């Protein structure tokens, strides 16, 4: 088997933040992770394990304290080559949907008409044609999230970083968006790093699920998902691999939360359902 | 609906004024009809409009100048942290000094004419506009700035599309405060330098206890205040249309 080209390589990455009392707090320690070009990786882990920090490092918004990060052979640099969907929408309140998306293309080197075309494409992709000139204040939470997604996709990035992008959607839109994302990924084949709290979402979407643990934030497991693609048109949730993987990951997450002294549920041993 | 309530309150206020005037006597508080009569007389004598013109030139000159200087300067201080951090101490110091203290100095340099008056208004109006503009730039949403960084938007683009629109509500608040202080300083200037304009008439009728005429001038000043405030409200409505929702 030939090794697929690595797109993202993290080796020995750690990141600390200053505590209020001045002592550094480890948000991430000793992270080694290699992601192949075109791979879809889901990052799963309890709150505070450094998932968002990891994405900000991958986008080049933060620099690691130790270790090195390579994206496409060079240290990451924010820009149109990498699309980041933030956990909160971060839309510009005084710009309409169209201008919000266009803002992501200002450094793309495209002409105004090319930019308008890309914006239209991105709007169509998330199905917001009718709201192209609406302001964020006039949109529902789910629609705002779709604008944020369209903004990240507009520049057709090779690396797509998504921070719990569907967390605020209702079940139906969430399912639709998941399918949309899978179709888009199959078409454009960007490398995707998808952060989520949901075990099922991670398994449904990803080629590989990376499990993280908090305090200090670290990677503890990396599990391939061998479910046939495309993962729509058949009962993915009933597939034996899906069920086995879900059971395993849910167990591990539960364990992590109950044995983490920093967690609100430490040694609570809540009854199993 | 609000307009109707406003008219009702106005009617109520005039009624109250009339009542008080009847209680204490028209010599101290003139009745509304007496005041109206005085206004007609002042108009007929051709004293009111020239005074109003004088005051408007002073006010609009000083206020306009303050806007032209304060907004770019405030933006500059906010956009370039070293400039802002260096100068803010002096700005706050100057803002805390009663500007009336400078009047003698201004008279020495600019005399008693319209230049001195405009400068006194300018000095009063500039500080709130400057400080608010500066604060508006500093209050820029950090999350939006990180988003801008993430898409590698340039400094100019980020300023134009994120920082500046975000500062607009602050700037308008500053313009409001500046207008109030500017109007007060218009009267102050007309009293302290060559006595002219509405401020001059205010002093004249106040000192000679011609209360009906005095009231006319006070009401004129109040009207200017209302007009400026309404103008700013309309400007705000246009500029921050996105906030209204539908
Ligand atoms: N800018 C910062 N300053 C100080 N501490 C920070 C900062 N950013 C993150 N942290 C801390 O680092 C740890 C990891 O944060 P991060 O946001 O990466 O977690 P997360 O896994 O994304 O959590 P969640 O699932 O709740 O979004 C947390 O303990 C957080 O308090
Ligand atoms: Mg997070």
Residue % of chain A over a pLDDT of 90: 68
Q: Is the pLDDT of residue B1 over 90?
A: no
Q: What distance in Å separates residue B153's CA from the closest CA in chain A?
A: 6
Is residue A161 within 8 Å of A193, Cβ to Cβ? yes
Whether residue A84 lies within 8 A of chain B, CB to CB, comes out as yes
Positive or negative torsion for Cα A119, A121, A126, A131:
positive
Threshold 0.80, pTM exceeds: yes
Question: Among positive and negative, which fits the CA dihedral A135, A137, A140, A143?
Answer: positive
pLDDT score for A190: 95
pLDDT class of A272 with cuts at 50, 70, 90: low
Answer whether the bond into residue A11 is a cis peptide, omega within 30°.
no
Tell me the pLDDT band of A271, cut-offs 50, 70 and 90.
Answer: low
| DSSP state letters, A138-159 | GS-HHHHHHHHHHHHHTT--SE
Residue B245 has pLDDT above 90, yes or no: no
- A50 C-alpha to ligand 2 centroid (Å): 7
For the stretch A176-186, pLDDT in tens is 889 989 999 99
| A259 and A215 Cβ atoms separated by less than 8 Å | no
Residue A141 banded pLDDT, cuts 50, 70, 90: confident
Instruction: Calculate the CA dihedral of residues A191, A195, A196, A199 and round it to 10 degrees.
Output: 60
Region A133-148 average pLDDT: 91
Residue A1 has pLDDT above 70, yes or no: no
What is the reported pLDDT for A269?
63
Name the CATH topology of B30-238. Answer: MetI-like fold (1.10.3720)
Pairwise CA distance, residues B10 & B219, whole Å: 13
Q: What's the token pair of residue A234?
A: 């058949």
Domain ranges of chain B: 30-238
| A137 in contact with B, Cβ within 8 Å | yes
Distance between CA B173 and CA B169 in Å, rounded?
6
Looking at residue A270, the DSSP 8-state letter turns out to be P
CB neighbour list of residue B26: distance below 8 Å, 6 or more residues apart: B34, B211, B212
- Taking contacts as CB-CB distances below 8 angstroms, the residues of chain A near B165 are 92, 94-95
Tell me the two tokens of residue A268.
């609570």
Structure tokens at A223: 């599990």
**What would the pLDDT profile of A65-110 be if each residue is shown by its tens digit?**
999 999 998 999 999 999 999 988 999 999 999 999 999 999 888 9
Strand order in the sheet with A6-18: A24-36, A6-18, A66-71
Q: Which of A48, A161, A264 maximizes ligand 1 atoms within 8 Å of its Cβ, making it the mutation to test the pocket?
A: A48
Q: Is it the case that residue A115 has pLDDT exceeding 70?
A: yes
Distance spanning both ends of chain B, measured CA to CA: 19
Which ligand 1 atom sits nearest the alpha carbon of residue A50?
Answer: 18
- Under the banding of pLDDT at 50, 70 and 90, the label for residue A266 is confident
Identify whether the C-beta of residue B66 lies closer than 8 Å to the C-beta of residue B178: yes
- C-beta atoms of B151 and A155 within 8 A: yes
Omega within 30 of 0 (cis) for the link into A216: yes
Please answer yes or no on whether A107 and B143 come within 8 Å at the CB atom.
Answer: no
- Using an 8 Å Cβ cutoff, are A87 and A164 in contact? yes
Q: How far is the CA of B92 from the centre of ligand 1 (A)?
A: 37
Least reliable range by pLDDT among A189-198, B23-32, B169-178: B23-32
d(CA A58, CA A210): 15
Lowest-pLDDT range of A18-22, A81-85, A88-92, A250-254: A18-22
Which chain A residues contact residue B246 at CB under 8 A?
138
For residue A198, how far is its CA from the centre of ligand 1 (angstroms)?
Answer: 18
Residue with tokens 């106005």, as numbered in its chain = B10
Task: Fill in the DSSP letter of residue B159.
Answer: I
Predicted local confidence at residue B246, as pLDDT: 41
Nearest-ligand number for the alpha carbon of A86:
2
Read off the pLDDT band of A23 (50, 70, 90). confident
């Amino acid at each position: 088997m030939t090794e697929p080209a690595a797109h993202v390589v993290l080796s020995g990455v750690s990141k600390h933040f200053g505590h209020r009392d001045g002592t550094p707090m480890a948000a991430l320690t000793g992270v080694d992770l290699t992601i192949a070009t075109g791979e879809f990786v889901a990052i799963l882990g309890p709150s505070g394990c450094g998932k968002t920090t990891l994405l900000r490092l991958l986008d080049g918004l933060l620099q690691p304290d130790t270790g090195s990060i390579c994206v496409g052979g060079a240290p990451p640099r924010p820009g149109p080559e990498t699309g980041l969907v933030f956990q909160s929408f971060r839309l510009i309140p005084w710009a309409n949907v169209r201008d919000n998306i266009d803002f992501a293309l200002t450094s793309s080197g495209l002409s105004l008409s090319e930019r308008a075309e890309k914006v239209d494409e991105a709007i169509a992709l998330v199905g917001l044609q009718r709201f192209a000139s609406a302001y964020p204040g006039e949109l529902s939470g789910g629609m705002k999230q779709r604008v944020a997604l369209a903004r990240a996709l507009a520049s057709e990035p090779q690396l797509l970083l998504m921070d719990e992008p569907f967390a605020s959607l209702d079940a139906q839109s969430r399912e639709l968006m998941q399918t949309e994302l899978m179709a888009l990924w199959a078409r454009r084949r960007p490398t995707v790093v998808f952060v989520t709290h949901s075990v099922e979402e991670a398994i449904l979407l990803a080629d590989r699920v990376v499990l993280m643990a908090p305090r200090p934030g670290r990677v503890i497991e990396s599990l391939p998902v061998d479910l046939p693609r495309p993962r729509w048109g058949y009962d993915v949730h009933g597939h034996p691999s899906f069920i086995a993987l879900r059971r395993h990951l849910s167990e591990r997450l539960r364990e992590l939360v109950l044995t983490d002294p920093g967690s609100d549920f430490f040694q609570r041993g809540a009854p199993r359902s | 609906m609000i307009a109707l309530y406003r008219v009702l309150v106005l009617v109520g206020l005039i009624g109250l004024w009339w009542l008080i005037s009847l209680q204490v006597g028209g010599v101290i508080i003139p009745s509304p009809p007496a005041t109206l009569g005085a206004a007609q007389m002042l108009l007929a004598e051709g004293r009111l409009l020239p005074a109003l013109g004088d005051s408007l030139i002073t006010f609009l000159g000083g206020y306009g100048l303050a806007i032209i200087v304060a907004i770019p300067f405030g933006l500059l201080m906010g956009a370039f942290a070293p400039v802002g951090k260096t100068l803010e101490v002096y700005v706050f110091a100057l803002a805390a000094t009663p500007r009336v203290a400078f009047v003698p100095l201004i008279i020495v340099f600019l005399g008693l004419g319209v230049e001195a008056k405009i400068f006194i208004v300018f000095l009063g109006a500039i500080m709130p506009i400057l400080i608010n503009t500066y604060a508006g730039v500093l209050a820029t949403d950090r999350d939006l700035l990180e988003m801008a960084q993430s898409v590698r938007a340039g400094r100019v683009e980020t300023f134009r599309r994120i920082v500046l629109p975000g500062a607009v509500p602050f700037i308008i608040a500053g313009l409001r405060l500046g207008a109030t202080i500017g109007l007060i300083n218009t009267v102050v200037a007309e009293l302290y330098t060559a006595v002219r304009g509405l401020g001059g008439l205010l002093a004249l009728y106040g000192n000679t206890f011609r209360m009906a005429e005095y009231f006319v001038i006070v009401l004129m000043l109040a009207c200017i205040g209302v007009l400026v405030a309404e103008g700013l409200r309309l400007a705000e409505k246009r500029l921050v249309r996105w906030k209204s929702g539908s």
